[in-house]
């Protein structure tokens, strides 16, 4: 599992451009002799799951392609305090110039992978799977959704173009659950899945009477979710959502739902503390 360079290089270039501007790293230029060489170790300072190793490597390469980036761990690997993730060798100025961009990416993505892994682990005795949403950092969606997969989760629809998800505002404008679903069915091609968000069992029954591929059961208690799963009875994929944490996930998963969607794992996950130590 890896990220295509074609997708991630423009994102990394933008980050480096933002950091370097026109003048470049004036601190390193002022303090570090141009001929000085160094070796550094990228080290995890806490436990978690690695994501973004190739992003970090490319961050250094785009600064200076003479830098040698040696991986010791792969995305998806479990990390502990003191785990050496990679060894990086090259001109000291270049290493310091690329350091922050590389660490920003790998720490952020590993944080996402780590919290995803926590939720996945908390529901491992059930059939439910953890999926992310479109609540991503603008411009970083491809990386953040990849990090979810590194943590053992799965991706929901990637964007507005690859699946129909009818939410409460769509229903309000359309006039009813039935009307929204019938309009969607007449619009969509045979390859496009249709999902609808329901807040009550009454709305769920209305959706099932029309027919739908996936039902999003929003902010329902575990007891209500169990009733909803029983009503669906295999007619559609069931997905639960609404402020789900590693602590609340087990009870929600035990209701029998197929999917648990969690928005905060991409937009609010804490970083995993990863540092760069000069050897």
Angle (CA) 270-274-276 rounded to 5° is 150
Instruction: Identify whether 75 is a catalytic site residue.
Output: no
Catalytic pick among 54, 195, 197, 239:
197
Instruction: Identify whether 46 is a catalytic site residue.
Output: no
Instruction: Identify whether 100 is a catalytic site residue.
Output: yes
Instruction: Identify whether 124 is a catalytic site residue.
Output: no
Distances (CA, A) of 259 to 36, 50, 59: 53, 24, 35
In angstroms, the CA 206 to CA 76 distance is 41
Strand 259-261 relative to strand 129-131, pairing: parallel
Catalytic pick among 46, 199, 218, 273:
218
Catalytic pick among 13, 71, 89, 100:
100
Distances (CA, A) of 118 to 2, 218, 245, 251: 21, 22, 9, 15
Name beta bridge partners: 38.
Answer: 90
Catalytic pick among 135, 157, 185, 227:
135
Distances (CA, A) of 5 to 11, 80, 181, 229: 10, 28, 39, 41
Catalytic pick among 167, 168, 223, 277:
167
Instruction: Identify whether 218 is a catalytic site residue.
Output: yes
* Residues with a known catalytic role: 100, 135, 167, 197, 218
């Amino acid at each position: 599992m890896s990220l295509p360079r074609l997708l991630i290089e423009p994102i990394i270039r933008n980050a480096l451009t933002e950091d370097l501007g026109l003048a470049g790293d004036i601190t390193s230029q002022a303090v570090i002799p141009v001929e000085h060489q160094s070796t550094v170790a990228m080290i995890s300072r806490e436990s978690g799951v690695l994501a973004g190793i190739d992003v970090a490597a490319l961050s250094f390469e785009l600064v200076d392609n003479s830098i040698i980036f040696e991986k010791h761990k792969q995305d998806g690997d479990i990390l502990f305090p003191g785990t050496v993730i990679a060894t990086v060798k090259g001109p000291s100025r270049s290493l310091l110039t690329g350091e922050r961009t590389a660490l920003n990416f790998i720490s952020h993505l590993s944080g996402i992978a780590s919290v995803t892994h926590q939720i996945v682990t908390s529901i491992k005795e059930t059939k439910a799977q953890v999926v992310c949403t479109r609540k991503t950092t603008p411009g970083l969606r491809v990386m953040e959704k990849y990090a979810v997969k590194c943590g053992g989760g799965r991706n929901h629809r990637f964007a507005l173009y690859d699946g129909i998800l009818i939410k409460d505002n769509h229903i309000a404008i359309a006039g009813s659950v039935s009307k929204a679903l019938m309009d969607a069915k007449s619009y969509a091609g045979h390859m496009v899945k249709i999902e609808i968000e329901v807040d009550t069992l009454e709305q769920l029954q209305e959706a099932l009477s029309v027919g739908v591929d996936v039902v999003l059961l929003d902010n329902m208690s575990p007891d209500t979710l169990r009733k909803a799963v029983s009503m669906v009875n295999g007619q559609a994929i069931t997905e639960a959502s609404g402020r789900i944490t590693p602590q609340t996930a087990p009870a929600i998963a035990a209701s029998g739902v197929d999917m648990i969607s969690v928005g905060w794992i991409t937009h609010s996950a804490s970083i995993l503390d990863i540092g760069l130590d000069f050897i």
